[in-house]
Amino acid sequence: MNAPLPVLNDPPRDEPERSLILDPRTYEQALKCVHCGLCLPACPTYVLTGHEADSPRGRIQLMRGMVDGAIELTPAVREHLDLCLDCRGCETACPSGVIYHELIEETRWRMEQKGQAPLSFQGRVMRWLSMNLFVHPTRLKLAVLPARLMQKIGLYALLRKTGLFKLLPMQFRKMEQMLPAQGKLWPARLPQRMEPLNKAEGQPRRVGFFAGCIGSVMFDTPNRQAVELLAAAGAEVLIPHAQVCCGAIHHHSGAPTPAAVMAKRNIDVFLPKDGPGVEFITTNIAGCGAMLHEYDHLLRDDPEYAPRAKEFVKRVKDISVVLLELGLPKMNHPVNRTVTYHEACHLVHGQKVSGPPRQLLAKIPGLKLVPLPESDLCCGAAGTYNLTQPQMATALAERKLSNIATTNAEICATGNVGCAMHIQSEAAARGQKITVVHPVQLLHEAVFGK
């Protein structure tokens, strides 16, 4: 029989001391796990380590043990929990429908609340950067401006050749490595605010475009190309300037309160009380899209925003889904390239979108799409995971790059800024020649010829 659900207050004195107290609704997810093991080959950390405690069912047992008072939160237990990428591959594989990410995310929040997850100095710095720099586009633009200027005059490449950056701690070395070179993803100019676009006649379908915080800086070119494609497909594209970060970094790091504030702001912006809002809310960035889909769960206990959050979530669609819904404009420019496709975790597992990007790529004249082995296995980016767990992230990137090499493709397409930066930077570090782009960029080339 299932154990009784825990309560959120402290346990009576005659009960064992518990290291973890979860919302009963979250604990129910742990009780659904039947330990069948189908999640094991879908879990990146288990695939690499072979350690049961680094698997979803193993971590569920650890969390249940802490809730039930059977085990304590030791450094070893915390290490196994921290190593989870929250990629949600286990959810796709699970026949019992365990919503695993709710378990790991609330566990991190509860540990943070009780001070059970102390960070090293480097960890505290990375956390501060994640929550106070990365999520604010203007601050991020200013922070990377010196690097952009040094790239432009050739000084940055010289600094890399000297090996100076190798003196940095591993987490900061990884962050520096991920800084993209000026090119397809990161244009030479400083990204400017995007404006609404409407070239349609009659009554166009209204699409709200979510640019993202890191995405609006590091993914500026694909974002602008997505807006141009949507407009060419007959949509009126609205890009509200008042939109803010989706809240994913905070939510996944055990800080749901500021994430909820951001969620409310975005709901007010895209679905205002005094207007119809937009038909679709779309984004180029899989991680943002997955988080936007979580607003109904995040705000489920808020009497004012819960119903609005449900309506908001219904309208959130990945850019690939929206383009298929609208109908692609004519593609008169062949793209004679060999391409493989990496499935971003928060697109295939978080949003359950797998076919649409491939369907779009298959429509491009001249393009040869080659299947990628383990295409849905995490590349190691996972938001800020590659900064907090650089060793595991690097090992997963090596596995991904090895699989890409077997395809002989010159281009790897993927629908997430984190994946693109991580795979491209790790390829550059190994001298592997591969160009990583968003599918939108290939579609844009096919439609506009540039």
Q: For 316, list phi and psi in degrees, rounded to 5.
A: -80, 120
Using CA atoms in the order 140, 143, 145, 151, what is the torsion angle rounded to 10 degrees?
A: -110
Question: Could you say which DSSP state residue 325 is in?
Answer: H
Quick one: pLDDT band at residue 202, thresholds 50, 70, 90? low
Contact yes or no for 371/342 (Cβ under 8 A): no
Q: Which two tokens stand for residue 237?
A: 């594209």
Q: For 373, list phi and psi in degrees, rounded to 5.
A: -60, 140
pLDDT at residue 7 above 50? no
Distance in angstroms between the alpha carbons of the first and the last residue of the chain: 62
pLDDT at residue 195 above 90? no
Q: Between β-strands 235-238 and 197-198, what pairing exists: parallel, antiparallel or unpaired?
A: antiparallel
Report the 3 state secondary structure along 59-123: HHHHHHHHHCCCCCCCHHHHHHHHCCCCCCHHHHHCCCCCCHHHHHHHHHHHHHHCCCCCCCHHH
pLDDT: is 119 or 235 the higher one? 235
Provide the pLDDT for residue 14. 53
Provide the pLDDT for residue 116. 58
Cα 396 to Cα 43: distance, rounded to the nearest angstrom:
11
Provide the pLDDT for residue 117. 58
Q: Work out the mean pLDDT of the chain and round it to a whole number.
A: 87
Distances (CA, A) of 24 to 28, 77, 103: 6, 22, 11
Quick one: pLDDT band at residue 4, thresholds 50, 70, 90? very low
Provide the pLDDT for residue 119. 65
pLDDT: is 445 or 213 the higher one? 445
For 366: left if phi > 0, alpha if psi spans -120 to 50, otherwise beta; the answer is: left
Taking the CB of residue 117, how many other CB atoms lie within 10 A of it?
19
Provide the pLDDT for residue 247. 93
Q: For 236, list phi and psi in degrees, rounded to 5.
A: -90, 115
Quick one: pLDDT band at residue 172, thresholds 50, 70, 90? confident
Quick one: pLDDT band at residue 190, thresholds 50, 70, 90? very low
| pTM score, whole prediction | 0.88
Quick one: pLDDT band at residue 259, thresholds 50, 70, 90? very high
In sequence order, the 6+-apart residues with CB closer than 8 A to the CB of 436 are 185, 411, 412, 413, 414, 419, 420, 423, 424, 427
pLDDT at residue 206 above 80? yes
Cα 144 to Cα 421: distance, rounded to the nearest angstrom:
15
| Domains contained in the chain, CATH given | 24-113 (1.10.1060.10), 121-177 (no CATH), 197-324 (1.20.1050.140), 331-448 (3.40.50.1860)
Q: What is the mean pLDDT of residues 157-169?
A: 76
Could you report the per-residue pLDDT of 345-363, keeping only the tens digit for each?
A: 999 999 999 999 999 999 9
For 217: left if phi > 0, alpha if psi spans -120 to 50, otherwise beta; the answer is: alpha
Question: Amino acid identity, residue 118?
Answer: P
Provide the pLDDT for residue 140. 82
pLDDT at residue 382 above 70? yes
Cα 334 to Cα 321: distance, rounded to the nearest angstrom:
22
pLDDT at residue 397 above 90? yes
pLDDT at residue 15 above 60? no
Provide the pLDDT for residue 3. 47
Spatial CA neighbour of 84 closest among 418, 419, 385, 335:
385
Contact yes or no for 290/317 (Cβ under 8 A): no
Spatial CA neighbour of 350 closest among 434, 255, 206, 246:
246
Q: What is the mean pLDDT of residues 144-173?
A: 76
User: Using alpha carbons only, what angle is made at residue 278 by residues 275 and 284, rounded to the nearest 5 degrees?
Assistant: 145
Q: What is the mean pLDDT of residues 78-95?
A: 95
Cross-sheet strand order for the sheet of 411-414: 368-370, 338-342, 411-414, 435-437
Provide the pLDDT for residue 185. 45
Could you report the per-residue pLDDT of 20-63, keeping only the tens digit for each?
A: 899 999 999 999 999 999 999 999 999 999 999 999 999 999 99
Q: What is the mean pLDDT of residues 394-407?
A: 96
Cα 83 to Cα 86: distance, rounded to the nearest angstrom:
9
Provide the pLDDT for residue 194. 58
pLDDT at residue 312 above 50? yes
Q: What is the mean pLDDT of residues 202-223?
A: 86
Q: What is the mean pLDDT of residues 131-153?
A: 79
High-pLDDT (> 90) share of the chain, %: 62
pLDDT at residue 154 above 50? yes
Could you report the per-residue pLDDT of 403-419, keeping only the tens digit for each?
A: 999 999 999 999 998 89
Provide the pLDDT for residue 1. 42
Provide the pLDDT for residue 126. 76
Provide the pLDDT for residue 199. 62
Q: How many residues does the chain have?
A: 450
Provide the pLDDT for residue 168. 75
Taking the CB of residue 258, how many other CB atoms lie within 10 A of it?
16
Provide the pLDDT for residue 12. 47
Contact yes or no for 57/39 (Cβ under 8 A): yes
Quick one: pLDDT band at residue 369, thresholds 50, 70, 90? very high
In sequence order, the 6+-apart residues with CB closer than 8 A to the CB of 350 are 88, 101, 286, 287, 289, 290, 293
Cα 124 to Cα 263: distance, rounded to the nearest angstrom:
25
Could you report the per-residue pLDDT of 316-348, keeping only the tens digit for each?
A: 999 999 999 999 889 999 999 999 999 999 999
Question: Could you say which DSSP state residue 133 is in?
Answer: I
Q: Which two tokens stand for residue 92?
A: 């796709």
